[in-house]
């Protein structure tokens, strides 16, 4: 199952973001939010942004993979896009002193476009199974 590959890889990225955030919190003795520390703010934002998009992506990808319309190459393209997008977004947002808006912007596009594609593919599968195929 290809979804497990991409969710496993995305979990490793999330693990890295989490460790970086925890280290900064310990270093600066800030337990919640970012406090007055702008350095932590970028990590906290990347962490929460990841948590917002990846679970929805995983659910949609899993449903699509189990559908009659699924193609492995589409799953790989969408999985690689979101994996790349989450990495670029993190690299673009984590350094609040010198943010890389290009990485952040491209990272969000590489995340949001696959979500929209998966939404359309899952709706198309629903229509196919319930209306066309019968």
pLDDT value for 134: 67
pLDDT value for 121: 97
Burial class (CB in 10 A: 0-12, 13-18, 19+), 130: exposed
pLDDT value for 43: 84
Per-residue pLDDT for the chain (134 aa), expressed as one digit of tens each? Answer: 999 999 999 999 999 999 999 998 898 888 777 777 777 888 888 899 999 999 999 999 999 999 988 999 999 999 999 999 999 999 998 877 788 999 999 999 999 999 999 999 999 999 999 988 76
Domains of the chain are 2-132 (1.20.120.550)
Residue linked to tokens 């590959």: 5
The whole-angstrom separation of Cα 6 and Cα 60 is: 12
pTM attached to this predicted model: 0.91
pLDDT value for 7: 98
The whole-angstrom separation of Cα 84 and Cα 62 is: 19
With beta carbons less than 8 A apart as the criterion, state whether 102 and 66 touch.
Answer: no
The whole-angstrom separation of Cα 128 and Cα 75 is: 19
The whole-angstrom separation of Cα 116 and Cα 63 is: 14
pLDDT value for 132: 85
């Amino acid at each position: 199952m290809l979804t497990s590959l991409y969710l496993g890889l995305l979990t490793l990225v999330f693990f890295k973001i989490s460790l970086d955030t925890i280290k900064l919190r310990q270093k600066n003795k800030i337990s919640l939010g970012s406090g007055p520390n702008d350095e932590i703010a970028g990590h906290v934002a990347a962490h929460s942004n990841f948590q917002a998009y990846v679970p929805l992506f995983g659910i949609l990808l899993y449903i699509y993979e189990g559908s009659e319309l699924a193609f492995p190459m589409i799953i790989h393209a969408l999985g690689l896009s979101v994996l790349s997008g989450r990495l670029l977004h993190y690299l673009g947002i984590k350094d609040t002193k010198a943010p890389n808006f290009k990485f952040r912007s491209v990272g969000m596009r590489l995340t949001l476009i696959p979500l929209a594609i998966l939404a359309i593919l899952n709706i198309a599968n629903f229509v196919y199974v319930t209306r066309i195929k019968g």
